[in-house]
Structure 1
Amino acid sequence: MKKNIIITFSLLSVILLIAGCQKNVTTETSEAVNYKNLNVDEAAALIVSNPNIIVIDVRTPDEIKETGTIENASNIDFKATDFKEKVSALDKSKEYLLFCRTGNRSGQASQIMADLGFTNINNLKDAGYDEFSKALAK
């Protein structure tokens, strides 16, 4: 009887230890995403359905000179040293849609905005200006 209790207790301890370790591994390796990732069609539909959305192009001014930008989009250069300062000055109660050339910088910018307390952020993921402008022209 005593041997069975010891074995049961030992097994229970091992199970709890494994469960606790698994939870810590998941917590440490998962990234918190506090914004919505949209594909090109979803982003285009959002602009059409919400004329008050603020569209932000996070590409550099040189990139915008080469290709142009989306009508009524504001430019806040993600690579600029004052990016965080400029974003901090925006109204946190508004809804935003961010895009760049490929979706990488806009994702990073979206996370920065989320970290600053913005709660209604949309990121054009896995696409950029070229695909976005074509989707809006449809």
Structure 2
Amino acid sequence: MTAMTAKEVQQKLEAGETLHMIDVREQFEVEEGHIKGITHIPLGELEERIGELDKNTEYIMICRSGARSGRATAYLEEKGYKVINMTGGMMSWEGETI
């Protein structure tokens, strides 16, 4: 499984890179604060919403601690998607949130 730290994601965003980020937390968690530009797909909806994703796009998976996003990353990798797990999740995030 490919992984990237929260700090690495933050550095890429601050450098102006366009990242495709999927936050798999629940609605109330996302409302408490999230990274600007995320797509919100709760983990429990990922299987039914997989058609919204493009196999030619690389996605960074985000959750609270990195566990749920790790499960999402493994699931999507198995289905042929290019995905990276943001280790440490939002608990490790030091960048701006909205």
- Say whether the fold is shared (TM-score over 0.5): yes
Q: TM-score, normalised by structure 1?
A: 0.62
Q: Which structure 1 residue ranges, 4+ long, deviate > 4 Å from structure 2? A: none
2:35 to 56, 67, 70: 70
User: Could you tell me how far apart the structure 1 residues matched to 2:34 and 2:62 are?
Assistant: 10
Q: Which has the higher helix share?
A: 1
Structure 2, unaligned runs of 5 or more: none
- 1:41 maps to what in 2? 7
Structure 1, unaligned runs of 5 or more: 1-32
- 2:23 maps to what in 1? 57
1:111 to 68, 74, 78: 74
Q: Which has the higher strand share?
A: 2
Percent identity over the alignment is: 26
Contact 1:88 1:116 (8 Å CA) reproduced: no
Contact 2:21 2:38 (8 Å CA) reproduced: yes
Specify the structure having the higher radius of gyration (Cα): 1
User: Could you tell me how far apart the structure 2 residues matched to 1:86 and 1:47 are?
Assistant: 25
Amino acid in the other structure paired with 1:123:
N
Amino acid in the other structure paired with 2:26:
T
What secondary structure, in the 3-state scheme, does the structure 2 residue paired with 1:56 have? Answer: strand
| Root-mean-square deviation (Å) | 1.7
Question: Quick one: higher RCO (CA 8 Å, sep 6+), 1 or 2?
Answer: 2
How many residue pairs end up in the alignment? Answer: 96
